[in-house]
Amino acid sequence: MKKSIQPARLSYFFGPGYKDVKKTIKQIWELNAEDAKKYYIQYDEAGLMSVKGLFNFSRAISIMTFGSLFSIIISMVIILILALCFLPVYLLFSLIWLIDRVYLVHNKISVACSHCHSSYRLPIYECECGQRHDDLTPGKYGIWKRECVCGRKLPTAFFNGRKELKAICPVCLSNGKLVYLNEKETRPITIPVVGGRSVGKTAFITAFSKKFIDEVAADKGFTTEFYDKGSEIIYQKFSSSYLSGSTVMTQKVDSRTGTNAIDFSFFVNHEKLKPSRLFHIYDIAGEIFTNNVEGELPKHFTYSQGIIFMVDPLSLPEVRNNYQHLLDVSDKTGIGYADVITILDSFIIKLKSVTGIGDEEMSKVPLAVVISKTDSPGLCDHFSNKKLSEIKQQSDNKKMTDIEAIDILCRQFLRENGASGFVNSLEMKFKNTKFFRISSIGHSRNKGAYNPMGVLEPVKWICKYSDRNFYELWYDIE
């Protein structure tokens, strides 16, 4: 976005100071010219042949010659003094600007707007008077602080309070919509959850959010804070669903943002976590992968730290034929019937279209493949701890972890139930994939409070690759 002229007063060293020096040098030359002109007029009045005229003519020539030489010397001295005085200021400005920029880049600080899903380094900051500053960084308007046209002093760097100012999304503003951000110059952890309709995305996000905010945060010394009122309302709905064991279908278009995703966002703070983290968990409506509608995939895929791809095992015909009759009536109505290969192909096409990335870059994105509803009757036996023990015993790797065993178990299950093409396609297109089994609700819907299993692991795994410091605090790694 092109930066506009800022509604602020230029620093003395970046404008007014030059004008003062220019004015001083101009006055020196004007005085020199006036003196020479005065004696030339006197010479012209007396005439060249008179002693007085000849004397004044000599004085005029002398002033023009030596006066100009002295004016040049004085001008150079003034410029040199100016350079000696201004150089430390410019060096300080460059240092402060560099420190601020390195801090933002090194800590991967950026803004991810929950309305337009655009990402950028810094937002527009608004003064109390309403003036908007779209480049509030150390510069010609001020090094430590800049003076708004209203006279208020605004901080220009991360270390002196810039993040406390009101922030506005520049992309939304350019589209004619005023969107205020709860911007705190944090590091985002952006994770979209994708999959077909009724695969369990909302139930997963509900279970993860409750487990992390209510249990993990307290256990690990994290403090959490909702991003805005909208996220607080979403969490209240999650809490209600969690207690009743229900789920809410993701809207095709979210009324708050006008997009095909619901964004639940919250800050995570810790004394050893600088800057704070801002979780963005996106629930992508399944219709955008089955209705063949172009341009519906939100922009946040361009900067996501990882992607969770959810699979309903009952969407596989072989699994559905074997176990559908064992399901509760409410669970039967919640089966996701969309073909996983169709969903995957549609997702990849839309991902490339939105991000513009090639196959090589896309393959590096961490992709957690999550098999949901593994508590379903009949299916639970395929994903039991007994099965994990068998895999570990059969493996040559005696130090195999549960996560590694679960990965093998999930791949085997999909291959054995007609989804070999899906697994092969994932392994070919994504280099960094891990398969997980989860149970978000833990039982049939509407049969009591959630009893989730495995919902934290996919997010932990993504954080291991995208945010090592946060991952180590989560795992108590010193």
Give the homologous superfamily in CATH for domain 187-474. P-loop containing nucleotide triphosphate hydrolases (3.40.50.300)
**pLDDT tens digits for range 322-375:** 988 888 887 888 888 888 888 888 888 877 777 677 777 777 889 999 999 999
Q: How far, in Å, CA of 315 to CA of 230, rounded?
A: 33
Q: How far, in Å, CA of 160 to CA of 249, rounded?
A: 44
Q: How far, in Å, CA of 450 to CA of 241, rounded?
A: 8
User: Could you tell me the two tokens for 422?
Assistant: 């899906």
pLDDT for position 336: 80
The one-letter amino acid at 223: T
Which stretches in the chain have pLDDT values below 50? 1, 252-259, 294-295, 478
User: Could you tell me the two tokens for 120?
Assistant: 């950028």
Pairing between strand 145-147 and 166-168? unpaired
Q: Strands (DSSP E) along 153-306, which ranges? A: 153-155, 166-168, 180-181, 187-194, 223-226, 261-270, 273-284
- Burial call 159-177: b when 16+ CB within 10 Å, e when fewer: eeebbebbbbbbbbbeeee
**pLDDT tens digits for range 380-400:** 888 988 989 999 888 887 788
pTM of the model: 0.81
pLDDT for position 52: 65
pLDDT for position 478: 42
- Number of Cα atoms under 13 Å in the Cβ half of residue 340: 27
Task: Identify the sign of the CA torsion 457, 459, 463, 465.
Answer: positive
pLDDT for position 25: 77
pLDDT for position 255: 43
In the three-class reduction of DSSP (H, G, I as helix; E, B as strand; rest coil), residue 280 is classed as: strand
Q: How far, in Å, CA of 354 to CA of 129, rounded?
A: 38
Q: Hey, where are the domains in the chain? A: 12-106, 111-181, 187-474
Residue of 456, 467, 445 lying closest to 216 (CA atoms): 456
